[in-house]
Chain A
Amino acid sequence: MPLLPYCIIPADAEADLPAVGVRESAVEVLAVDRLRCLYSVLPDFSLVSAPDLQREALRFDAVIRELLAKTAVIPFRFPTLLGTADELRGFMAEHLHQYSAAIKRLADGVQMELRIEHASFATAADSGAAYLQARATATRALSQTAEHARAAAGGLMREWLTRNTARGLRCYALVPRELTAEFQTRMRSLSTPEGVTIVVSGPWPAAEFLDDTAQHR
């Protein structure tokens, strides 16, 4: 029967296990050395509609979020299915060193995100020159906003990443769990240039701060 893994947490995590997960199935634990992997056995897993997918994705997220409130979490992508517990155990054993190091490094850090967008990125220009001009202006505004946000976060964060997106920038801050409210407060007070919007979200598992070997991209 298919197994759906949720995430990896430290073996000594002081967190109660969520009672139910995807498809209202029990959440079970696989212990491998210093790590635990939480998963559900799904005898009947089907995604026959967008609402099904949405509902089960939210249940998956609820499991992750409940654990993230108490401990470091390395999530799997949804939906990941494996055939047997032995496959999952084998995967964990093969990557034990990478995930143990990642869990230790992330410790009590969570990921806060800023989606910084400029209205002109979605607007068609009348001419190539006008497009380039608008794009350059928008790019400068986005970069300045990201820098201001990073400065405002200051000593709250351990690490900061910025990535380009189709509509602007996405910034990720690794923040101690207990400082997420302060981070949100500082972001609320940011001023934004004309046309720039910021959406702040989190806390999320610090997936962006896993190195590529841990994410297996």
Chain B
Amino acid sequence: MPENNNVVVLDRLGDDEVSLLEILDHVVNAGVVIHGSLVISLAGVDLLYVGLNVVLTAVETALQHMRYDVPTAAKPRRALP
């Protein structure tokens, strides 16, 4: 089987579009999830932990219609049993 060296090492994260997407994917999709935390809603869509593409899509949808701010007095959800 023919072999190549198609290896890219992102050793300076954030310097280009590929590494930027890696960063955004990590911060949105990796890490601790807290049940019962506030839900950010944009354009009526609950966005607690969703993929990056869905977040960006929902933001763009919201921009088409209105400006939406997270209410500072919003009540947290009840924790899941």
How many residue pairs bridge A and B at CB < 8 Å? 160
A77-B33 contact, Cβ under 8 Å, with A58-B23, A83-B74, A83-B76: yes
Q: Which residues of A contact B68 (CB under 8 A)?
A: 46, 48
Instruction: Choose from B6, B9, B33, B70 the contact partner of A2 (Cβ within 8 Å).
Output: B70
- Interchain CB contact under 8 A, B37 and A192: no
- Interchain CB contact under 8 A, A77 and B72: no
B24 interfacial contact with A, CB 8 Å: yes
A190-B5 contact, Cβ under 8 Å, with A2-B38, A77-B29, A80-B37: yes
Q: How far is it, in angstroms, between the C-alpha of A65 and the C-alpha of B27 when the chains are bound?
A: 11
Q: How far is it, in angstroms, between the C-alpha of A57 and the C-alpha of B74 when the chains are bound?
A: 22
Interface residues on B, range: 35 or more
The size of the chain A interface, using a CB distance under 8 A, is 59
Stretch at the interface among A27-35, A122-130, A153-161, A196-204: A196-204
Q: Which residues of B contact A7 (CB under 8 A)?
A: 31
Give chain B's interface residues, CB within 8 Å of chain A: 1-11, 13-14, 18-20, 22-24, 26-38, 40, 42, 49, 55-56, 59-60, 62-63, 67-70, 72, 74-76
Give chain A's interface residues, CB within 8 Å of chain B: 1-2, 5, 7-8, 43-50, 52-54, 57-58, 60-61, 64-65, 74-83, 87, 91, 141, 184, 187-194, 196-201, 204-205, 207-208, 210, 214-217
